[in-house]
C-alpha cells in the first residue's frame, strides 16, 4: 500500500514532445511537492501545493506546469521537452502543521532523446 | 548558490565500525535539519532530524550532532551494518516561513564493507 505513488517510473521521449507525470498520496497530507534530481545528483524543489494552492514556484521554465485537482494529487505536465529536462523527478508530501519532513515517491526517470 | 554542502561524495566503512557523515550549511535561517537515506531506484526516506534548539538527537544506531556556530552537522551510525549502504542526503529547512521547502546537499554514498 504505497504512501506516495508516481507514474510512470520510467519515461523515454523525443525532444519537443509533451508529457505528464502523475503523483498520488494516501497519507492525508495537505502539502505536495515536485523535486528534480539532475545529473549532478542535486535534489532541488520545483513546486509545492498546499490544499490545491500553489505555494512555491522556484525558477522553473514555464514549460513545466503543475496541476493539483485535489489535495491527494499533484501532476506535472511538461511541454516541448528538451534534452536538459532529462532527470529524475520526485513527488513528495508532508503535513503542514506536523513538521517532520517529507514522504517521497520512488521517482520518475525522464530521458529526453 | 549551494546552501547545503556535503563535501565527501563517498565513504567506505567496515561493518561494525562507526560511520560519520558530514554536512555544512551557509543559510543561518535554517531552523531544522534532516537526514534522508536513499537506495537506488527508490525515493529518499526520512532517517532522523534535529531542531536548531538542540545540539544532539539520537534514534537507535543513528545520532545527529549540530554545531550552529560552525554551521555544521554530522550523522553518526554505530555500529554500521551492510543495510546502511546507501546515499545519505542532508537537508535544511525553515518551517516557520510558512512553507516546508527542503534544501538538500548533493549526498554522500556510504558503502559498508562486510
User: Domain map of chain A by residue range?
Assistant: 4-112
CB pairs under 8 A between A and B: 56
Q: What is the CATH number of domain A4-112?
A: 2.60.40.10
pLDDT digits (tens, 9 = 90+) for B77-106: 999 999 999 999 999 998 766 567 899 999
B49 touches chain A (CB under 8 A): yes
Mean of pLDDT values over A56-60:
83
CB pair distance less than 8 Å for A43 and B44: yes
Q: How far is CA A54 from CA A5, A31, B57, in A?
A: 20, 10, 33
Say if the Cβ atoms of A45 and B46 lie within 8 Å. Answer: no
pLDDT in tens, A75-100: 999 999 999 999 999 999 998 776 67
Strands B10-14 and B108-113: parallel
Distance CA B7, CA A67 (A): 36
Does A103 sit within 8 Å of B41, measured CB to CB? no
Domains and CATH numbers, chain B: 4-113 (2.60.40.10)
Amino acid at each position: 500500500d504505497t504512501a506516495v505513488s508516481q507514474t510512470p517510473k520510467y519515461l523515454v521521449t523525443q525532444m519537443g514532445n509533451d508529457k505528464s507525470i502523475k503523483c498520488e498520496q494516501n497519507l492525508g497530507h495537505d502539502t505536495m511537492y515536485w523535486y528534480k534530481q539532475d545529473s549532478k545528483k542535486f535534489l532541488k524543489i520545483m513546486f509545492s501545493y498546499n490544499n490545491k494552492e500553489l505555494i512555491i514556484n522556484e525558477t522553473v521554465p514555464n514549460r513545466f506546469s503543475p496541476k493539483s485537482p485535489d489535495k491527494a494529487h499533484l501532476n506535472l505536465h511538461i511541454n516541448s521537452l528538451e534534452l536538459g529536462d532529462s532527470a529524475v523527478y520526485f513527488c513528495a508530501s508532508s503535513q503542514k502543521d506536523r513538521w517532520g519532513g517529507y514522504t517521497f515517491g520512488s521517482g520518475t526517470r525522464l530521458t529526453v532523446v | 548558490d549551494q546552501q547545503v554542502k556535503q563535501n565527501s561524495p563517498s565513504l567506505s566503512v567496515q561493518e561494525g565500525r562507526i560511520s560519520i557523515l558530514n554536512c555544512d550549511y551557509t543559510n543561518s535561517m535554517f531552523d531544522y535539519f534532516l537526514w534522508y537515506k536513499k537506495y537506488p531506484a527508490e525515493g529518499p526516506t526520512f532517517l532522523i532530524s534535529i531542531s536548531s534548539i538542540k545540539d544532539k538527537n539520537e534514534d537507535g544506531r543513528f545520532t545527529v550532532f549540530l554545531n550552529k556556530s560552525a554551521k555544521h552537522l554530522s550523522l553518526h551510525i554505530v555500529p554500521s551494518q551492510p543495510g546502511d549502504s546507501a546515499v545519505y542526503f542532508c537537508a535544511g529547512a525553515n518551517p516557520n516561513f510558512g512553507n516546508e521547502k527542503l534544501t538538500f546537499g548533493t549526498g554522500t554514498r556510504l558503502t559498508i564493507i562486510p
